[in-house]
Structure 1
Amino acid sequence: MSALPIAAVERDTGIPKDTLRVWERRYAFPQPVRDDKGERLYPAEQVEKLRLLRRLLDQGHRPGSIVAAPTEALAALLEPAGERGREPADPGIAALIDLVRLHRSAELRATLQQHLVKLGLQRFVSELVAPLSRAIGEAWLHGEIGVAEEHLFTEHVQNLLRSSISSLGTGSRSPRILMTTLPGEEHILGLLMVEAMLAPEGVQCISLGAQTPLADIAQAARDGQFDIVAVSFSAAFPARQAFRGIEQLRDALPASIALWAGGAALHGKRKRIDKVQQIAQLDDLLDALTDWRKAN
Structure 2
Amino acid sequence: MSDKANPPGDTPRYPIREVSRLTGVNSVTLRAWERRYGLLRPHRTPKGHRLYAREDIERVERILQWLHRGVPVSQVRELLEQPDSPANTRPGVDDWASQRQQLIAAIEALDTARLDDLFNQVLALYPANVCVEKLWQPVLSSLEERWDDRLGATLQRRTLEAFLRTRIGTRLYHANPQAGQTQVLIAPLPEADSPLWCLLAALLISEQGHRVQLLDASLPLQELNLAVERLGADALLLTSGKAEKLDLVRRQLPRLADQLGVPLVLCGPVARIRATDLAETRVTTLGDDLPAAASRLNALLTQTSHEGA
State TM-score, norm by structure 2. 0.58
1:188 corresponds to which residue?
Answer: 195
2:51 corresponds to which residue?
Answer: none
Aligned to 2:213, the other structure's residue is in SS state strand
How far apart in 1 are the matches of 2:178 and 2:265? Answer: 19
Aligned to 2:290, the other structure's residue is in SS state coil
Would the aligned equivalents of 1:171 and 1:203 in 2 still touch at CA under 8 Å? no
Aligned to 2:270, the other structure's residue is in SS state coil
Aligned to 2:249, the other structure's residue is in SS state helix
In the alignment, structure 2 segments of 5+ residues that lack a partner are: 1-95
CA shift digits 1:95-144 (9 cap, x unpaired): 32222222333222212221221213333233322221111111112638
CA shift digits 1:6-31 (9 cap, x unpaired): xxxxxxxxxxxxxxxxxxxxxxxxxx
Residue 231 of structure 1: CA displacement?
Answer: 0.6
Q: How many residues align?
A: 205
How far apart in 1 are the matches of 2:122 and 2:208? Answer: 20
Match of 1:261 among 258, 266, 277: 266
Answer yes or no: is 1:110 the counterpart of 2:117. yes
How far apart in 1 are the matches of 2:248 and 2:99? Answer: 32
Mark the structure with the bigger radius of gyration. Answer: 2
CA shift digits 1:180-209 (9 cap, x unpaired): 223343522222212211112221222344
How far apart in 2 are the matches of 1:242 and 1:234? Answer: 15
CA shift digits 1:146-186 (9 cap, x unpaired): 21122222222332222223232325434322222233435
Q: CA RMSD in A?
A: 2.7
Q: Which amino acid aligns with 1:135?
A: S
Q: Which amino acid aligns with 2:190?
A: P
Answer yes or no: is 1:288 the counterpart of 2:294. no
Structure 1 residues 246 and 171: alpha-carbon distance in aligned structure 2, compared to 1, 3 A threshold: farther
How far apart in 2 are the matches of 1:177 and 1:171? Answer: 15
In the alignment, structure 1 segments of 5+ residues that lack a partner are: 1-88
Residue 223 of structure 1: CA displacement?
Answer: 4.0
How far apart in 1 are the matches of 2:224 and 2:181? Answer: 19
2:169 corresponds to which residue?
Answer: 162
Q: Which amino acid aligns with 2:169?
A: R
Would the aligned equivalents of 2:206 and 2:212 in 1 still touch at CA under 8 Å? yes
2:131 corresponds to which residue?
Answer: 124
Answer yes or no: is 1:271 the counterpart of 2:276. yes
State TM-score, norm by structure 1. 0.60
How far apart in 1 are the matches of 2:125 and 2:189? Answer: 34
Would the aligned equivalents of 1:121 and 1:164 in 2 still touch at CA under 8 Å? no
